[in-house]
Structure 1
Amino acid sequence: MENQKGNTSLKAIILVLSLLLLGSLFYIFKLTTDTKTLETEVSSVKTEKDNVLKDLEELKATYDAAIAENTSMSDELIAEREKVVGLMAQLEKSKGDVNAMAKYKQQVAALQTKMNSLMQDVAVLKKENQTLTTNLDSTKVVLADSKNYNQVLVGQNEELSKTVEKASKLSVLNLKTGSYKLKGSGKQVETDKASRVDILKVSFTIAENSVAKSGDKTYYVQVIDSKNNVLGDKVTTSFGDKSLTYSFTSTVKYENKTVDVVKDLPGKDFQKGTYFVNVFDKAELVSKSSFTLR
């Protein structure tokens, strides 16, 4: 009887221990399963975080490259890049969970959509700038050609002006000087003996020129004796930075036809030797000759 009770108690104890063992095994299994599930979730969140960070870094690199091109959209691109940088900083500090990562991925998707739109605008702007640059280059070529053509025209006009100016200058020809003795009757007798000379007669011809300017024309005549003295009026005048001492002037009315000029230069005590006669148009020497008195 007692043995039978003992066996019953032992069986009860064994049953309880078996139930406890089974419960422990189940708890250990569940704990192990939960731990693996948690580790899987953590690993998945970390992978998602790394992927999101990679996407953000690619967005930032795209914005950096676009900003470096220095377009008119630079300010807007910089503002969007700062949003990307700010989100990267938040994500790196965040421990994150599945719900948080989902929100970050939504924000990244929105940033990518905005970036794609901006990049399209940048591409259009670059194309317009290329077209504008091409047009500017073409304009520069046209302007350069026009400038060269104008320079050629200016050069031709200058040459033409010089040619006209040269052609319009009057030629003084046949410059001659005669020496004469004045008799009591007023008659002039030619002589080359210095002691007998009373008058020097200077003559020259202004040639015909159809393109020259008509009107009064004044010539300055300079007669220099053998001792380098200027005879006659000995008046000194200036033309710009040049000065001229002359013997007399001769003003004629020029009408594009040949004009003969004759002018007497009276004097006394003429010296023996060679005399020089120069005719000036203002400061420009236009004719010269010499003669000798014995």
Structure 2
Amino acid sequence: MKKHYKNKWLKGAFATLLVLGIGASFFLFSKELNEGELQSKTEINIPKEAPDTKESLGKRNILDSLNLLKLAYDVALLEKTSLSEELEFQKRNVENLMEIIKASKEPSLSEIDVYRRQLSELKTTLDAKVLEINQLKSQNKKLLTEIETQNVVMYKQKTQNDTLVSKQKQLESTIKAAARLSLNNFKVVALKESSSGKESETKKAKHTKKLKVSFSVLANAIAKTGKKIFYIQVLDQKNKVLGEDKLIEFDYDKALVYSFIAAVDFQGKAANVYGILNADENPFQKGTYFVNFFDKQEILGSTSITLE
């Protein structure tokens, strides 16, 4: 009985393992089949790239070289020299050749050789232009150095000239000032006349017949010699100009009203000068009279007298 039961259990277990084994085998086979189909589909949907040919490689290399050449022209154009127009023209030639090569999908070896020669010519042209640009830059640098040197020289020369002009003006001003005549000893006295005609000083207005004005011209070795005229202005108590009462005009709209003139032949040495203002029909009145001495419009001194 026990033996029969044991055989029955073994048969059941074996049947179960057989079913599981078949199921597992079917699952693995189905999975491998599905993966195989997916791989086949993938291989069909993704086309393989065609291998590069000598022509395609040559075309690509030429385009890469042309692109670099175009960039080189852009760099050369940054210099902004007199060759810029020519460089722009050559750059357009490079761009045109690139367009032509791109439009040629399957160029032949002979065409590739033509493109390569054109590339070489364009590169040779660029090398020549770059050399010319470098020469121009060197010349410009040399010119700038010369200009800067010349500017320094000119600046120094201008500074020296300005200094000389300034010194010359100072010298001229000093000489002019030194050549100007100087006056001193300004005096004015009232004179009366006796019945005999003798003149003597007086303080009385009613006795005064004339005012005698005098001054001295100092010696000056560099002053201009010759006749020198001075203008004498006599003012009464009412600030009225006595004597000739004449108006004379000078430069720069300057004018002077004077009473009389006093002249001297100046020869560089000291000289005494005098002049007379007569009472004429207008007798002198009591009060103070002011006398001013002019060299043209410039006043050189003054004095006064009071008559009783």
Q: Within 5 Å, which residues of 2 pair with 1:242-261?
A: 242-261=254-273
Any idea what the Cα deviations from partners look like across 1:211-252, whole Å, max 9, x if unmatched? 111111111110101111111000011112111100001122
Please give the TM-score of this superposition, normalised by the length of structure 2. Answer: 0.78
User: What residue identity is the alignment partner of 2:178?
Assistant: A
Secondary structure in structure 2 of the residue aligned to 1:205: strand
User: What residue identity is the alignment partner of 1:273?
Assistant: G
RMSD: 2.0
User: What residue identity is the alignment partner of 2:272?
Assistant: D
CA–CA distance in 1 between the matches of 2:290 and 2:94? Answer: 98
Q: Within 5 Å, which residues of 2 pair with 1:192-231?
A: 192-231=203-242
Partner of 1:22: none
Kindly indicate whether residue 102 of structure 2 is the aligned counterpart of residue 92 of structure 1: yes
Partner of 1:266: 278
CA–CA distance in 2 between the matches of 1:96 and 1:188? Answer: 137
Considering only CA atoms, is the larger Rg found in Structure 1 or Structure 2?
Answer: 2
CA–CA distance in 1 between the matches of 2:194 and 2:148? Answer: 87
Partner of 1:19: none
Kindly indicate whether residue 172 of structure 2 is the aligned counterpart of residue 158 of structure 1: no
CA–CA distance in 1 between the matches of 2:236 and 2:167? Answer: 46
Kindly indicate whether residue 291 of structure 2 is the aligned counterpart of residue 277 of structure 1: yes
Partner of 2:80: 70
Contact kept in structure 2, 1:180 and 1:199, CA below 8 Å: yes
Partner of 2:19: none
Question: Using a 3 Å threshold, how does the CA distance of structure 1 residues 185 and 93 change in structure 2: closer, same or farther?
Answer: farther
| Cα displacement (A) at 1:126 | 1.0
CA–CA distance in 2 between the matches of 1:163 and 1:126? Answer: 54
Which has the higher mean CA deviation after the structures are superposed, 179-188 or 231-240?
179-188
CA–CA distance in 2 between the matches of 1:39 and 1:102? Answer: 23
CA–CA distance in 1 between the matches of 2:75 and 2:196? Answer: 111
User: What residue identity is the alignment partner of 1:184?
Assistant: S
Secondary structure in structure 2 of the residue aligned to 1:88: helix
CA–CA distance in 2 between the matches of 1:218 and 1:87? Answer: 97
User: What residue identity is the alignment partner of 2:155?
Assistant: A
Contact kept in structure 2, 1:179 and 1:200, CA below 8 Å: yes
| Structure 1 moving runs of 4+ over 3 Å | 44-51
| Cα displacement (A) at 1:208 | 0.5
Please give the TM-score of this superposition, normalised by the length of structure 1. Answer: 0.82
Partner of 1:293: 307
Contact kept in structure 2, 1:216 and 1:251, CA below 8 Å: yes
CA–CA distance in 2 between the matches of 1:92 and 1:217? Answer: 103
Partner of 2:146: 135
CA–CA distance in 1 between the matches of 2:191 and 2:100? Answer: 121
Identity score, percent:
38
User: What residue identity is the alignment partner of 1:69?
Assistant: E
Contact kept in structure 2, 1:201 and 1:262, CA below 8 Å: yes
CA–CA distance in 1 between the matches of 2:139 and 2:94? Answer: 28
Unaligned 5+ segments in structure 2 are: 1-46
Secondary structure in structure 2 of the residue aligned to 1:231: coil
Contact kept in structure 2, 1:208 and 1:257, CA below 8 Å: yes
Contact kept in structure 1, 2:263 and 2:273, CA below 8 Å: no
